[in-house]
A and B are shown apart, each in its own frame.
Chain A
Amino acid sequence: MTVAEKKHRIIEPDSLIGKRIPKMDAPDKASGRTRYIHDIDLPGQLHGKILRSARIHALIKSIDTSAAKALPGVHVVITAADIPDQRPIGVAKDHFPLKVGRVRSERDEIAAVAAESEEIAEAALKLIKVEYEDLPVIGNPEDSIKPDAVLIHPEPHGADGTHLHLKQGTSIAHRGKADNVAMRFDYAHGDVVQGEAESDAVVEDTFKLHYVTHCCMGVSGMIAEFDAAGNVQMYSNTQVPFLHKREFAEYLNIDPARIRIIQPPIGGGFGSKLDIYPFEVICLYLARAAKRPVKMLFTREEEFLASPTRQPVLLTLRSGCKKDGTLTFRTVHTLHDNGAYTSWGATTPFVMMQTFSSLYRVPHCDYHTAAVYTNNPYAGSFRGYGNLQATFAIEQHMDMLAAKIGMDPLEFRMKNAQDAGEVTGQGMSFKSCGFKECITTAASRSDFARKFAENQANQKKPGNIKRGIGMASMLHVGGGAKIYPSDGCGTILKMDDFANVTLITGASEIGQGSETVLSQLVCEELGLPISAITVVNNDTAITPWDVGVHASRTTFIAGNSAIGAAKKAKGKILAVAAKKFDCTEADLDLRGGFVIRAASGEALVELSKLLRNLHFQEKAELVMTTFYYEPPSVHQDKGFKGDVSAAYAWGNQVVEIEVDTDTGFIRLLKVTGAHDVGRVLNRLGIEGQIEGGVVMGQGYAFTEDLMIEDGKMKNPNFRDYKLVTAPEIPEMDIAFIESMDGEGPQGAKGVGEAPSICMAAAAANAIANATGTRMFELPFTPEKVYRALHGQTPKRYWKPWKAE
């Protein structure tokens, strides 16, 4: 290029927003190059294994580890007795990593071994002798609240009946709990008695939601290492490194500053890595005792047995409306099966009550949850966080109420749907809201009204194949959720001499595509191609603070943070350029790797050249910026009221099915979805997110079922725990409603959880449309459907119960 040509080079405006950008980690993952935790081995590393309980609920009378300790190749064997400073973990601090005197569920950790190989560690576990004394098992939450129920967390006593000498503490793990209620939530707005008095139609039903689990392709694992000074380095798959850094420090009784967490590429999270689990703390104990790095990896069976689940729920909902279709009230009681210990599953009411109070306009709402202890697996957080369960109940009642007053289900929803500008009874303020457009778009693209009427007319006609169509809507946080003191995220951005950017973000990548979308936002600001950026996002010693990957928040919060840092860099660059070209900053812009004249697009100087000039001059400078974004949301008050998110995501999905009434088989034919995503940033990424979410919702609705009988898991394997397989995935037609949120990065909202929420509810409505039979319990496996169709499913009624 000659100098003359260069002078007149015009760079046309271009944008990365809305484009289809392949995920940055895709080539490595597709070609098997990604190094997961499974592929990392440290010099001198030992292998850790855990001995789990052979009983569901029992006292531990004695543990004999002598033979295991004597096995050649074994370095350390530990039990609770070896860790006198053991601290309880979990949301309610009711859980010692190594069990003290008592086991309460099938997966309970009794002892752990660190040995030179996995095989030796396994062999050592077999040499550990444990004597138990069985206790009665509580296998379901209804039994747990009976007056004579055995206590799951009584005041700790030793095997001989004397008080156990636990290090002093006030937690449930130390003191016990005098009843089986782990947590309770009570929320109300309006007056449901008045609401019911104003109602022309009222329905009440009990819904039962089952156990499912995340099934991350990468099983859980961790490597822990202490250096000579006692500092800890962990390779961990956590979704919340900064919160865990603090928590792990507490469990190890050391200063948080001494903990460094490195996250290798994570083989799936979906919420499962939001809490600290016993194996992680045990791995640290082993490493501390062995003075060697210890690696612990789950087997697939262990992944099933010892991972958290989605929260199972028993729910009785009473809803009413007027003849004209106006909703009047909702009364909700749920019984959450807390399992033996408390993790995030118990707190799903935070999200569930939002759906009950605010998805549609409801003047009166009364909500109660009791999460009660049983000897079952315990539930953690899982994409959707209670919303799948709440939506399952609400959206069936929407169809049932509509039918009762003879109104079209579509019209009924539209009549009660929220609009922009609304502030709900719970204090959520909808600044942008494409809800109604979601409903009408999904309905028209799927030809809902016509098919709904046709299928209904077909119900009684001969033939064993029945078609059904059903819809469900959703509301979920889309701009973070202010649960912790800060819901923010920090960014450090640096530019090198070649105009390459390193984006150092607190936001963790768990496969969701955050590094790609954050890169896109930064490159959009700086007028650079996506190839010009490197993302560093996995080391607490380097990256600035972030609250973690949850609540569909990363694109929104980390996105705004990244944009903030990029804007500061741009400001600095333009200031330098304005001086150089003797104009104002407003006259200039960055585009295609150049500083350009904003009005004409004329390229003035290559950005890399400008940066080098800045660097290699007398008053040398680099472009390095930082930004911390805190969303303008607020904490809820004691009554759970307040505008917790900076934006809210909306959606509606229509499910079409074919039911074979001779077998109960359901073929999922098509899913039509319309989602208010604020704005599409990476089209490829958002399509993947929605499609993946639909399939996850499909599994929840139709195939996945973690079978627990009296605390025992019946199917901890992929043969009998049925994930959806490729040929079962339906045709999908997904529309994006761009409501351009004022606070969102480039107008976008979070949508990570949204797509999995509607499926089960819409499927239930489709079954009713196809067959006239309502199903109140998941999953819709062939036998369950067949039973329901043939009158073999007694209608369940759980009498609302409120904890004292």
Chain B
Amino acid sequence: MTELKRYYAPTSLDQAVECLKGGNVTILAGGTDLTPQSQAGRIKFRETLMNIRHIPQMSGITLEGKEIRIGALATITEIMEHPLVREHLPALVEACDHFASDQIRNAGTIGGNICNASPAGDTLVPLLVLDACVELASMPETKLYRHCMPISTFFTGSGKTRKSLCELVTGVRIPVPAAGHVSRFYKHGTRPALDISTISIGVAGNLKDGVLSNVRVAFGAVAPTPLRATATESALEGRHLDAATIEAAAVAARDEVNPIDDVRATAWYRKEMIHNMTKRMLENVAQA
């Protein structure tokens, strides 16, 4: 009862992007979004179902020059446990730690989380504050073409991205943070595991003598996409993290988000939590 005609499991990136050329392909990674979505009838499989899990170029977590590269197929568990991530990217570890449950974390991939482009996708907020770039691959003619796109420009709407149907996300690249860099992530759910974020907050920057610079703040689940909070960032940039600055930033945060009411919370409560928890996180950073 589906239009699915073909199952394909490429073993190289070239094979995969060549298959994508026609465009009529559904990509399967961990399947933790795809399966429930198709079961509920919210998405339809295209003609070809392509399982990308056997493509070696898409897995692993490595240090490449001044960047940490996380393959699109890295699972949430792998990321959470990886020494490079644990050493340099605490906000991402925090996000993985509050992600779904063990079973889902063992199957779900970061590439899937990015491409699913949910406003509540938990790795997206830390990726935003860590200045990550999304690696894309395609085959416009006969040759493999790869390029990177800042994640801050990648999302265009709920479930929508700049990636075309012929493109594959192969990984993300994150600059190795300099000394003095701090990053935090907070997920607001109603239970310790297996919850979708009501809101989420990421904060990062360089902290020196109580002054925060190169500030990045991002919010999840308050808009159609996870987003950078530019007004909040300006309220913090170059300032001493004292009580007044923190309160001003928390107010700016509350004022710049425009969330909706849904089964998880009302817009009012979301704005309150953006205020209260941004404040709490900044106080925590100030004490670091």
Q: Which B residues lie at the A interface, using CB under 8 A?
A: 1, 188, 190-196, 263-266, 268-269, 272-273, 276-277, 280
Contacts and interface: CB of A to CB of B under 8 A. Distances in A.
A663 B188 CA distance: 9
Contacts of B264: 720
15 contacts: A119-B1, A123-B1, A663-B188, A663-B273, A663-B276, A720-B263, A720-B264, A727-B191, A728-B191, A781-B190, A782-B190, A783-B265, A783-B269, A787-B269, A790-B272
Nearest to A705: B263
Main secondary structure of the interface of A (DSSP, over half): loop
Interface in A766-801: 781-783, 786-787, 790, 792
A376 to B, nearest CB: 17
A715 B280 contact: no
B277 A663 contact: yes
B192 A727 contact: yes
A410 B216 CA distance: 53
Given A663-B273, A714-B263, A703 B190 contact: yes
Nearest to B272: A786
B196 A786 contact: no
* Shortest 9 CB-CB contacts between residues of A and residues of B: A727-B192, A662-B276, A783-B269, A720-B263, A715-B263, A714-B263, A783-B265, A725-B191, A782-B190
Contacts of B272: 786, 790
A786 B199 CA distance: 15
Interface in A692-729: 703, 707, 714-715, 719-720, 722, 725, 727-728
Contacts of A119: 1
Contacts of A787: 269
Contacts of A727: 191-193
A790 B271 CA distance: 14
Interface of A: 119, 123, 662-663, 665, 703, 707, 714-715, 719-720, 722, 725, 727-728, 781-783, 786-787, 790, 792
Contacts of A722: 190-191, 195
Nearest to A664: B269
A520 to B, nearest CB: 37
Given A665-B190, A783-B265, 10 more contacts: A662-B280, A703-B190, A703-B191, A719-B196, A720-B263, A720-B264, A722-B191, A727-B191, A728-B191, A786-B272
A783 B266 CA distance: 8
A783 B200 CA distance: 15
Contacts of B188: 663
Count chain B CB atoms within 10 A of each CB in A707, A715, A719 and give the residue with the most. Answer: A719
Given A662-B276, A714-B263, A786 B269 contact: yes
B240 to A, nearest CB: 23
Residue among B190, B193, B266 with max Cβ neighbours from chain A (10 Å): B190
A728 B263 CA distance: 21
Contacts of B266: 783
Residue in B192, B269, B273, B280 whose Cβ sees the most chain A Cβ within 10 Å: B269
B276 A725 contact: no
A728 B192 contact: yes
A703 B276 CA distance: 22
Nearest to B192: A727
A787 B195 CA distance: 21
A790 B268 CA distance: 12
A662 B284 CA distance: 15
Contacts of A707: 263
Nearest to A715: B263
Contacts of A781: 190
Contacts of A123: 1
B185 to A, nearest CB: 16
A725 B189 CA distance: 13
Contacts of B195: 722
Contacts of B280: 662
Contacts of B1: 119, 123
